[in-house]
Amino acid sequence: MTAVPLISLFDALLADLDGVVYAGPHAIPGAVESLQQLAGLGIGLGYVTNNASRTPAQVAEHLRELGAPAEDQQVVSSSQAAAELLASLLAPGARVLITGSPALAQEIELVGLTPVSSQDDDPVAVVQGFNPAIGWKDLAEAAYVVAAGALWVATNTDMSIPQARGIAPGNGTLVAAVAAATGQTPRVAGKPEAPLFHAAAKRLAADRPLVVGDRLDTDILGGNNAGFATVAVLTGVDTRETILAARTAERPDYVINSLTDLHTPYPAVEHIDGTYRCGTSTARVSGDTVHVRGSDSDLDSWRAACAAWWAAIPEAATASAPKLEWLSH
Residues identified as active-site: 16, 18
| Coil, helix or strand at residue 21 | coil
Tell me the three state secondary structure of residue 169.
strand
- Cα 179 to Cα 181: distance, rounded to the nearest angstrom: 5
Tell me the three-class secondary structure of 104-142, residue by residue.
HHHHHHHCCCEEECCHHHCCCEEEECCCCCCCHHHHHHH
Classify residue 195 by its DSSP letter. Answer: H
∠ CA 302-256-170, nearest 5°, is 105
H or E stretch including 298? Answer: none
Q: 258 near 299, Cβ under 8 Å?
A: no
CA 214 to CA 267: how far, in whole Å? Answer: 20
What three-state secondary structure class fits 250?
Answer: helix
CA angle 230, 82, 120 (to 5 degrees): 160
Q: Are 73 and 49 in contact (CB under 8 A)?
A: no
